[in-house]
Amino acid sequence: MSRSDLVRLSGISKQQLSRLENGHIRLRLDHLEPFAIHLGYTPEQMLLWGRFPGTGDGNIEPTDLQKELSGIAADQVPELDARAGRGGKAVPGHEMRKDGRHADPLKSERWLFPASFVREQLHTTPERLVILDTNGDSMAPTIASGERVIVDTGHKTPTPDGLYAIRDTFGGIVVKRLQVLRSSRPTRVKVISDNPNHPSEEAPLSELEIVGKVLCCLKLS
């Protein structure tokens, strides 16, 4: 394939392609996505070849390359498919994420975040993360319907107070603001919707099923 063909197929300018080829831009997955499919590779594969020049010539053993690819796959964060099913029911043809009594369907594509972002900003590991696509206006204006949140499923205790993903009455997963009422015995939790049109509730901590703590929101532009 000529450079002109690649520019035409990908929509990338010749100047941008030249900067990528000459190493003037540090390669990222989003740089590679526009033309990866036209070259017959995934962006992850191309990024590895960018990191290890000469891989195609046998300078890197295939087993090493497979290990690198496996590492990237392990770092990918799944997204729950809220529209495929509710209440932890199995959905034909879907990969499922088991969580105690529930099995949530997953979307086929996964998210890949920089390791430094997960480690230094989110202070967790990719294995603990899951992406949740929110629905409804109960948390507006903090979270708009359709915006996604990153949830740490390893953080299931509502301390400190803040945003958490919890199971609703029907087994679905919703985001609410939790405030522990520390003077109550047994401990109760105030379940708050940021939208004042939705009333707050109280529930015993023992009856709440917390999926994880909301770390950040992927805002719509």
**Distance in angstroms (rounded) separating the CA atoms of residues 209 and 219:** 26
Reading the block at residue 99, the tokens are: 């969580």
**Distance in angstroms (rounded) separating the CA atoms of residues 52 and 101:** 44
Q: What is the pLDDT of residues 25-55, one digit of tens each?
A: 776 777 778 877 777 777 777 766 554 444 4
Residue 6 contacts residue 35 (beta carbons within 8 Å): yes
**Distance in angstroms (rounded) separating the CA atoms of residues 141 and 90:** 33
pTM tops 0.95: no
> Mutual orientation of helices 43-51 and 62-74 as an angle, nearest 10°?
130
Domains of the chain: 3-74 (no CATH), 96-218 (2.10.109.10)
Report which residue type is found at 55: T
Burial of 189 by CB count in 10 Å (0-12 exposed, 13-18 middle, 19+ buried)?
Answer: buried
Burial of 137-157, coded b for 16+ CB within 10 Å and e otherwise, reads ebbbeebeeebbbbbbbebee
Tens place of pLDDT per residue across the chain (221 aa): 788 888 888 888 888 888 877 777 776 777 778 877 777 777 777 766 554 444 444 444 444 544 444 454 557 899 998 766 555 555 555 688 887 778 888 988 889 888 889 989 999 999 999 999 999 999 999 999 999 999 999 999 999 999 999 999 888 999 999 999 988 889 999 999 999 999 999 999 999 999 999 999 998 76
**Distance in angstroms (rounded) separating the CA atoms of residues 133 and 86:** 13
